Amino acid sequence: MKVIYLHQYFKTPDMSGGTRSYEMAKRMVKAGHEVHMVTSWTEKTNHTDWFSEEIEGIHVHWYPNQYSNSMSFKERTKVFMRFAYAATTKAASFKDANIIFATSTPLTIAIPAVSASKLLKIPMVFEVRDLWPEIPIAIGALNNPLLKFLAKRLEKLAYTNSSAVVALSPG
């Protein structure tokens, strides 16, 4: 099976950050699947467009898209939307794919996942890592009524267009 795995912040063990997607993708490869990780390269780079490498059998497609937690809300939103647009095009380019597996955060990963799923007419699995938009609303990070509305719509879009939803926490 050919899997398009969407994770905006994919990391390997030699990088800083969580490696759940790396471990999941490795297991998919070990089970005989062809895995294409569509992700972003968040550090400085000379690349100006997609570049690829194979890491332990995982075909990793990096999109240069610098990101830092020190960015403003507006800057981070631009980064999320830039990746969503680029990842939609990239994911839809795998014409012979069998399934899309998308993992949040950010919730905007649902944009390329749903879009590519519809364009390619293949099922989508959505993995929920964090409760978006509930958590940012609860802590006051997302308080604009229009943005709350849009975030809730995006959440609903992700869930209603998924063939399956994987939740990483009980309940």
Provide the CATH number for the domain around residue 68: 3.40.50.2000
Q: Domain count of the chain?
A: 1
Q: Does residue 63 register a pLDDT over 60?
A: yes
Domain hosting 35: range is 2-167
SS3 of residue 82 by DSSP = helix
Averaged pLDDT of the chain:
93
Cβ-in-10-Å burial (0-12, 13-18, 19+) of 27 comes to exposed
pLDDT tens, residue by residue, 17-46: 899 999 999 999 999 999 999 999 988 889
Q: Which two tokens stand for residue 124?
A: 């989508």
| pTM of the predicted protein model | 0.93
Residues 6+ apart with CB under 8 A from 9: 17, 18, 39, 40, 42, 67, 105
Q: Check: CB of residue 50 under 8 Å from CB of residue 66.
A: no
